[in-house]
């Protein structure tokens, strides 16, 4: 239902370019968005090379593929200009690298020699390939793709829940090129992995048309194609990963029955009960690596930081000591760790931590940032209205005139069960842009945020705009009490859930003088009824609110639309014109109602974009409008 901007983006008549900032400590919208993020790291089997995926708004958020030679640090760029490539996977013998690429049009599987050479397509599907995995012996590849005779989704009648729209599981032999479809019609497969050379495990459901969580773990033979259920983890679950020997599997699930997949559970590939696979101090699992059966490596979310932990049989869980927050990682067979490290003061780069604990920077992703300082940021804790401790980050300008009180923008993250992290990404780029232009920016992880206890992430169930809103106000009041903030020049903003909470806040108080609502939900019942269940699962809303016909009061109580008549705050509304997560009608409804009651408002929609606009020029336009909107309403003299 609610997603963060992807990296994260309607171009007006002005000319927009990727330009340098006007001054050393002042970011332009273009510069703030010129960062590169890396992820999906994969060591080659011998540990000599590292494949990774990078994305930037300079490339319209198209993912690019590159390989680093560990010994020399030399980087090979794989992706041709203007193309998109992702999901690198080394063959088991390390001689080849497979990946998904649109260099031929549709997204297909390509394979290239590990140490250089031309990549060759391995598939030719009418609708492209969604995902794939090598078999353990490297002789076959299994992949998900729709049937070529499925109806074109861009033409003709569109039949809801037509099973021909579902991706099917295929296996092809690399030597002969022969491929075959396995499994049964009508099954939606959300994930899979090889158990051995003849069998796979699936995360799938046989009743995809039911708008509930109905997935289970199945075992399936490539010979007979008959899926056999072996486990039904607590719902929701994802990230199915099979052990190196194929005897076990783990899934990211929830021991507290929602709302977020944050606990790791392990099961036998032969079936049976699941058991916890980790015992961290109530931290959320974000990423798993399993290269040797006795050892599980995990990236865990711990408030604003992401940490790497090692879990080995017969040993206590061990946190790896690192100076930066971790956005992605992999572990080589010799124990070397490659990770994307970042924090509020450092843009993301790929680092190598050797077995001796020494660090070496492998990548140089960020270009043109020399001499640019990022705004100083302080982590603080505040007791909320009921005594709950709430964590937040306060970003401030480098300098200000003596005794000057600063305008402040309260920025709210997406989710709701997401969180602000110590790093540089789309939301913190928004914050850094404002801070370098003289604003304080407050980023709060209110109840419902990930990275804290299970009780904390569940604490806003049926209560959006209740305890979470009061947490935001409690932290804001605590910051104002410090004396540096002008309480008459407060702004608020956010995207997705952050956009909804911004819309909510302006219906509850007039203390904010400017608001930015990006891709918000305005009416919860309309959201439940109109969001595209191929983009997000309506079961999310049902977990939080029940159904509208059973609990109309809950839906009304949690909707900004119910209280919009109280709004007086000038509001800028931004969204992708093709948004199906929080359908664009939500933004249109907020705009129409605010305009009807006489509130100053502007709405900008970006053609061809979904919930998280990707086009670089559109994102620059958004950041330009956001900065201008706050300057117009919060800067003295405007």
Query: What sign results for the dihedral spanned by CA atoms 120, 126, 128, 130?
Result: negative
Least Cα distance to 418 among 540, 546, 533, 296 occurs for 540
**pLDDT tier, 17 (very low <50, low <70, confident <90, very high otherwise):** very low
Burial annotation 451-467 (CB, 10 A radius, 16+ → b, else e): bbebebbbbbeebbbeb
Residue 257 has pLDDT above 50, yes or no: yes
Give the confidence band of 12 by pLDDT, cuts at 50, 70, 90: very low
Q: Which of 511, 393, 494 is nearest to 444 (CA)?
A: 393
DSSP per position, 52-86: EEEEEGGGTT--EEEEEETTT--EEE-SPTT--EE
pLDDT of residue 226: 85
Indicate the class that CATH gives domain 123-148+163-277. mainly beta
The reported pLDDT for the residue numbered 540 is 82
Distance CA 637, CA 231 (A): 64
* Alpha-carbon distance values, 133 to 88, 97, 99, 207, 485 (Å): 10, 11, 10, 24, 53
- Give φ, ψ of 624 to 5 degrees: -65, -45
Q: pLDDT for 84-142, tens place per residue? A: 999 999 999 999 999 999 999 999 999 999 998 999 999 999 999 999 999 999 999 99
pLDDT at 402: 75
Class of 36-121+324-367 in CATH: mainly beta
Q: What's the pLDDT score for residue 260?
A: 86
pLDDT class of 209 with cuts at 50, 70, 90:
confident
Residue carrying structure tokens 């088991």: 92
Q: Does pLDDT of 23 surpass 50?
A: no
Question: Distance (Å, rounded) from C-alpha 595 to C-alpha 507?
Answer: 14
Percent of the chain with pLDDT over 90: 82
Mean pLDDT of the chain: 92
Tokens at residue 518, please?
Answer: 């990006």
Residue 24 has pLDDT above 60, yes or no: no
Q: Which helix (H) or strand (E) holds 361?
A: strand 359-361
Gap between the Cα atoms of 267 and 248, Å rounded: 6
Q: Where in the chain are the domains?
A: 36-121+324-367, 123-148+163-277, 377-634
Name the residue with tokens 């086009």: 615
Contacts of range 389-393, beta carbons closer than 8 Å, 24 or more positions apart: 390/444, 390/445, 390/446, 390/447, 390/471, 390/474, 390/475, 391/303, 391/304, 391/444, 391/445, 391/452, 392/442, 392/443, 392/444, 392/445, 392/475, 392/479, 393/304, 393/344, 393/420, 393/422, 393/442, 393/443
- Average pLDDT of the segment spanning 558-585: 97
pLDDT band of 1, cuts 50, 70, 90: low
Here the tokens at position 257 are: 């029955």
Three-state SS annotation for 519-571:
CCCCCHHHHHHHCCCCCCCCHHHHHHHCCCCCCHHHHHHCCHHHHHHHCCCCE
What average pLDDT does this structure show over 67-81?
96
Q: Cα-atom radius of gyration of the chain, to the nearest Å?
A: 24
Banded pLDDT at 4 (limits 50, 70, 90): low
Going by C-alpha positions, the residue among 523, 521, 517 that lies closest to residue 581 is: 521
pLDDT digits (tens, 9 = 90+) for 141-156: 999 999 998 888 777 7
Higher-confidence residue: 461 or 225? 461
Q: Above 50 in pLDDT, residue 436?
A: yes
Question: For residue 428, is pLDDT > 50?
Answer: yes
Q: Report the share of the chain in percent with pLDDT over 70.
A: 94
Specify burial of residue 382 (Cβ count, 10 A radius: 0-12, 13-18, 19+).
middle
If you search the block for the tokens 């709302």, which residue do you land on?
259
Beta bridge partners of 443: 393, 411
320 pLDDT above the threshold of 50: yes
Contact 547, 528 (CB under 8 A): yes
How far is 624 from 631, CA to CA, in rounded Å?
11
377-634 to CATH, choices 3.30.70.2190, 3.40.50.970, 3.40.50.1220, 3.40.50.1820 = 3.40.50.1820
SS3 480: helix
Phi/psi-derived region of residue 222, left when phi > 0, alpha when psi is between -120 and 50, beta in every other case? alpha
Give me the pLDDT at residue 534, please: 54
How far is the C-alpha of 142 from the C-alpha of 412, rounded, in Å?
Answer: 41
Is the predicted pLDDT of residue 16 greater than 50, yes or no? no
CA–CA gap between residue 588 and residue 519 (Å, rounded): 10
Question: Which stretches within 374-466 are classed as H helix?
Answer: 426-435, 454-457
In this model, does residue 368 exceed pLDDT 80? yes
For the chain, first and last CA: distance in Å? 37
In Å, what is the CA distance from 567 to each residue of 342, 492, 508, 562, 593? 38, 13, 7, 11, 10
Residues 607-625 pLDDT 10s: 999 999 999 999 999 999 9
């Amino acid at each position: 239902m609610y997603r963060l901007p992807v990296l994260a983006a309607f171009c007006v008549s002005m000319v927009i370019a990727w330009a340098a900032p006007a001054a050393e400590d002042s970011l332009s919208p273009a510069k703030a968005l010129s960062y590169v993020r890396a992820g999906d790291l994969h060591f080659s089997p011998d540990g000599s090379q590292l494949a990774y995926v990078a994305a930037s708004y300079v490339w319209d958020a198209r993912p690019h593929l590159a390989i680093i030679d560990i010994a020399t640090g030399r980087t090979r760029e794989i992706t041709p200009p203007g193309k998109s490539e992702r999901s690198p996977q080394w063959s088991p013998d390390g001689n080849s690298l497979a990946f998904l690429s649109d260099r031929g049009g549709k997204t297909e599987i390509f394979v290239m020699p590990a140490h250089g050479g031309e990549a060759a397509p391995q598939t030719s599907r009418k609708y492209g390939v969604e995902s794939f995995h090598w078999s353990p012996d490297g002789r076959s590849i299994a992949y998900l793709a729709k049937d070529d005779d499925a109806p074109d989704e861009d033409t003709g009648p569109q039949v809801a829940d037509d099973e021909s729209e579902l991706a099917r599981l295929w296996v092809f032999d690399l030597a002969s090129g022969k491929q075959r479809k396995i499994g049964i019609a009508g099954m939606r497969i959300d994930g899979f992995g090889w158990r051995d050379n003849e069998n796979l495990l699936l995360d799938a459901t046989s009743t995809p048309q039911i708008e509930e969580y109905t997935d289970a773990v199945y075992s399936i033979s490539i010979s007979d194609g008959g899926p056999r259920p072996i486990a039904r983890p607590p719902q929701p679950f994802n990230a199915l990963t099979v052990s190196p020997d194929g005897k076990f599997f783990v899934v990211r699930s929830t021991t507290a029955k929602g709302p977020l997949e944050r606990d790791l559970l392990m099961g036998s590939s032969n079936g049976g009960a699941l058991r916890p696979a980790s015992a961290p101090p109530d931290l959320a699992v974000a990423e798993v690596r399993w290269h040797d059966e006795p050892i599980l490596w995990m990236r865990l979310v711990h408030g604003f930081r992401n940490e790497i932990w090692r879990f080995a049989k017969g040993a206590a869980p061990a946190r790896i000591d690192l100076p930066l927050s971790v956005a992605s990682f992999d572990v080589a067979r010799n124990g070397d760790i490659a990770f994307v490290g970042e924090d509020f003061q450092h843009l993301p780069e790929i680092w190598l931590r050797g077995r001796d604990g020494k660090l070496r920077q492998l990548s140089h992703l960020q270009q043109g940032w020399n001499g640019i300082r990022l705004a100083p940021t302080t982590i603080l804790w505040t007791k909320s209205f009921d005594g709950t401790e709430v964590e937040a980050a306060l970003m401030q300008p480098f300098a200000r005139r003596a005794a000057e009180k600063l305008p402040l923008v309260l920025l709210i993250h997406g989710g709701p069960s997401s969180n602000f992290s110590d790093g540089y990404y789309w939301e913190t780029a928004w914050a850094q842009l404002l801070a370098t232009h003289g604003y304080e920016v407050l980023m709060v992880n209110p109840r419902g945020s990930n990275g804290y206890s299970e009780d904390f992430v569940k604490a806003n169930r049926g209560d959006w705009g209740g305890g979470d809103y009061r947490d935001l106000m409690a932290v804001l009041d605590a910051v104002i009490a410090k004396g540096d903030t002008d309480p008459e020049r407060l702004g608020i903003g956010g995207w997705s859930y952050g956009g909804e909470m911004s819309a909510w806040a302006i219906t509850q108080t007039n203390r904010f003088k400017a608001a930015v609502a990006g891709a918000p939900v305005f009416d919860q019942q309309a959201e439940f009824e109109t969001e595209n269940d191929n983009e997000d699962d309506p079961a999310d809303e049902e977990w939080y609110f029940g159904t509208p016909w059973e609990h109309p009061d809950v839906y009304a109580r949690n909707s900004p639309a119910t209280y919009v008549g109280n709004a007086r705050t000038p509001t800028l509304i931004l969204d992708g014109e093709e948004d199906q997560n929080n359908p664009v009608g939500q933004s249109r409804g907020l705009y129409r109602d605010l305009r009807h009651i006489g509130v100053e408002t502007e709405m900008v929609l970006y053609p061809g974009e979904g919930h998280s606009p990707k086009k670089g020029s559109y994102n620059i336009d958004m950041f330009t409008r956001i900065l201008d909107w706050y300057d117009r309403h919060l800067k003295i003299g405007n």
